[in-house]
Amino acid sequence: MEFELEEEPTPVSVIKPRKVTYKMIQEYIQNKYGFKVHTAYIAEVKRNHGIRMYDAPNAVEQLKHPRSHPPLEKVQAIEDALREYKVID
């Protein structure tokens, strides 16, 4: 008995999205724009877009230094990376 399977392409709607890490975003920005971005900047941009994030297990009660806002150039680069990975439209 012989079986022959014909492979059909998987529809995009069925493909499970992979987890986009901060490291992936940082590497994308480093390669495309030539500068580094801090993870706090990525988190702020994600918060501004309403992207759900989980509490870090190592989060502190009070910050040692007040959180600074990312410069516009870095915000645009982070948004570009998030679009590239289809996290935002």
Residuewise pLDDT in 10s, the chain (89 residues): 666 666 666 554 455 557 899 999 999 999 999 999 999 999 999 999 999 888 878 888 888 888 889 999 999 999 999 999 999 98
CA-closest candidate to residue 87, choices 52, 62, 63, 41: 52
Q: Which residues of 23-39 are buried (b: 16+ CB within 10 A; e: fewer)?
A: eebbebbeeeeeeebee
- pLDDT for res 7: 65
Cα dihedral sign for 28, 71, 64, 62? Answer: negative
As given in the structure block, the two tokens for residue 21 are 């890490």
On whether residue 23 sits in a domain, the answer given is yes
- How much is the pTM? 0.74
On whether residue 88 sits in a domain, the answer given is yes
On whether residue 59 sits in a domain, the answer given is no
On whether residue 33 sits in a domain, the answer given is yes
On whether residue 62 sits in a domain, the answer given is no
Q: What range defines the domain where residue 38 resides? A: 19-52+70-89
The count of structural domains within the chain is 1
On whether residue 13 sits in a domain, the answer given is no
- pLDDT for res 65: 83
- pLDDT for res 3: 62
On whether residue 43 sits in a domain, the answer given is yes
On whether residue 9 sits in a domain, the answer given is no
